[in-house]
Amino acid sequence: MAKAFRVDLPTLLKLRYPDPQRYLAELIRHSVTRNAKRIRIVPADVNRGQFQISDDGDMTVPDGRLPGEDGLVAGLLVSDSVTLTSAGTKWVGRISGTHTTTAVDDDLTGTTVTLRRRRGETLLNTSKVVELARRYAEMSPIPVDVSMPGGATQTVNRQPPWLCEKPLEIAEYGAELLDADPLDLVALKKPTGETFGVAYILPTSPAPRAVQKHSLYRDGLLLEDEGADLLPEWAFFARCVLDAGALPDDRDEARAQLGQSLRSWLLLLSARQPRRLTQFVNTHHLSLKIHAAQDPELARIITRWLPFETSAGRLTLTELLGRTRHVRYATTRDVFRQLAPIAGRNTPFVNAGHLHDVKLLEQLPDLYDDVTVERVEVADIVADLDDPPLSDRVAQLRLRKVADSALAATGCATVVKSFEPASLPVLYLGDPATLCLNHRSPIIQHLARLSDQTVLSRTVQLLHAQARLHGHLPLRGVDTELLSGALLDLVQLAALEEDLSGLDHG
């Protein structure tokens, strides 16, 4: 006699199993939890439209309660009925919410679940069954066999990477998982030293807000939980495959244990494999900076190896602190380019114009002893520059007057200072726009002695354009007009001088 379930079965199915592909995972779990020794699956297209999953154990047939807890009901995701045959009893549950139990006269041992394929259903066919069996049960210690067309059998199991002793096989699994060769492999171990998982280091850096998914197994079966918060947030660069049953029950304790494995890996690389560490940092340094700026734990671990752009080239923080314990930086690339020739002459000057660099640099006094940090602005540098000698003030004032007039259309003021290197005749400083003339430069000293104001004016305009370009600033329309006019006048003056020289010889 048919009996009705006490629930709205289609609604329950939708709530419990939003992904219909989970049907196979639940049916396999149904066998595994009863200590089956082997599982055999016959796809529907090999068996006249009937899918079957059998194991070598007997079970108690459901007694009228909804059998959702043991996974049988998941079969109704892809079939209108689920038939369970075991120990001489046949139980049939239907999508309508009814079930029947009858005795059968057979000598079969074990348990078989049968699903009849719906019209158009493909999840019960061979190709999909093999794919799903491998996805959910390939780490299972219980062999899972799938019958193939033509009578062959395919076993989907493989050795879990945390139990494998061959690094090449572990790496090959990681390449399949990531669809690319992993940058490195990290064994995840219990405090007792037993390995229970592998962390694969990503070969490319994920998006800053990307949620990293991990593969968690229990009893060799893939869990639905993808472990979004499995690792500390700073460990965004790793994807784990592990036996969840070996983790502590407390999530925070588990996260700390996994984080310790990755921290030990980083320290081991720095001590024994600096080239591999450099490769890792080069791959992930932008994301590492973003996370380290927000996460003091990561900052303490990784900051020493992060690269920074400086006036002395690209330096890691360790290299930078080896040259100076007082770190000076500019907050924008433009200011860095303007000030680097003078601010970074004796010690490296840092470009902190990249995302989160300022936050990282400001943390340094808390991370390292005897380290100070200074933010440098244009006004600070100009104020520290030396004034020309008093004996040259008259000539310098005359030079400034002509220079101010020559650059009036650009809105750029001029100032005369004395600084190194002497090979740098001018320096363009922005906000406000200022052309700083270097008194120590032979070019500027020569200009100060010129009596021809036209040559002086045009040369200043040329130096102004050169200084903007040297500071990686574009030439505006007014700058281009002045540059073109200055070049034309100087060429005409040179031609006139040549003509006059020719007349004198004539």
The answer to whether 111 and 58 are in contact (CB under 8 A) is yes
Read off the pLDDT band of 63 (50, 70, 90).
Answer: low
- CATH number, span 3-155: 3.30.565.10
Give the E-state strand segments of 156-206 in sequence order. Answer: 184-189, 195-201
The answer on pLDDT for 139 being more than 70 is yes
The answer on pLDDT for 24 being more than 90 is yes
The answer on pLDDT for 67 being more than 70 is no
The answer on pLDDT for 464 being more than 90 is yes
Q: How many Å from the N-terminal Cα to the C-terminal Cα in the chain?
A: 132
**Residue of 392 and 42 predicted with greater confidence:** 42
Mean pLDDT along residues 67-76 = 75
The answer on pLDDT for 1 being more than 50 is no
Domain ranges of the chain: 3-155, 167-284, 306-382, 386-501
**Residue of 41 and 13 predicted with greater confidence:** 41
Percent of the chain with pLDDT over 70: 94
**Measuring CA to CA, which residue among 463, 451, 462, 470 is closest to residue 491?**
462
Mean pLDDT along residues 19-25 = 92
Read off the pLDDT band of 188 (50, 70, 90).
Answer: very high
pTM of the model: 0.79
Mean pLDDT along residues 210-232 = 89
Q: How far apart are CA 54 and CA 115, in angstroms?
A: 12
The answer on pLDDT for 68 being more than 60 is no
CA–chain centroid gap for 276, Å, is 17
Mean pLDDT along residues 386-396 = 87
Q: What is the homologous superfamily of the domain 386-501 according to CATH? A: Heat shock protein 90, C-terminal domain (1.20.120.790)
pLDDT at 383: 81
* H-state helical runs in 120-250: 126-137, 167-178
Mean pLDDT: which of 52-61, 63-72, 180-189, 330-339 is highest? 180-189
Mean pLDDT along residues 86-113 = 84
The answer on pLDDT for 42 being more than 90 is yes
Which residue type occupies 272? R
The answer on pLDDT for 294 being more than 60 is yes
Read off the pLDDT band of 498 (50, 70, 90).
Answer: low
Mean pLDDT along residues 246-267 = 92
Mean pLDDT along residues 398-411 = 93
pLDDT at 323: 95
Least confident piece of the model among 41-45, 112-116, 502-506? 502-506
pLDDT at 506: 52
Read off the pLDDT band of 380 (50, 70, 90).
Answer: confident
- CATH number, span 167-284: 3.30.230.80
pLDDT at 496: 65
Average pLDDT across the chain, whole number: 88
pLDDT at 45: 95
**Measuring CA to CA, which residue among 400, 456, 464 is closest to residue 426?**
464
Enumerate residues 6+ apart whose C-beta is below 8 A from 255.
229, 230, 231, 232
Mean pLDDT along residues 375-390 = 86
Identical fold for domains 3-155 and 306-382, yes or no, is no
Q: How far apart are CA 241 and CA 199, in angstroms?
A: 6
pLDDT at 187: 95
pLDDT at 66: 55
The answer on pLDDT for 172 being more than 50 is yes
Mean pLDDT along residues 442-471 = 89
**Residue of 244 and 209 predicted with greater confidence:** 244
Least confident piece of the model among 198-202, 203-207, 322-326, 377-381? 377-381
Mean pLDDT along residues 33-59 = 90
* H-state helical runs in 273-374: 274-294, 296-302, 317-323, 333-343, 357-367
pLDDT at 238: 96
The answer on pLDDT for 85 being more than 50 is yes
| Overall CATH class of domain 306-382 | alpha beta
**Residue given tokens 């049916």 in the structure block:** 27
377 to 37, 290, 383: CA distances (angstroms): 73, 24, 10
**Measuring CA to CA, which residue among 262, 295, 282 is closest to residue 204?**
282
SS (H, E, C) 432-495: CCEEEEECCCHHHHHHHHCCCHHHHHHHHHHHHHHHHHHCCCCCCHHHHHHHHHHHHHHHHHHH
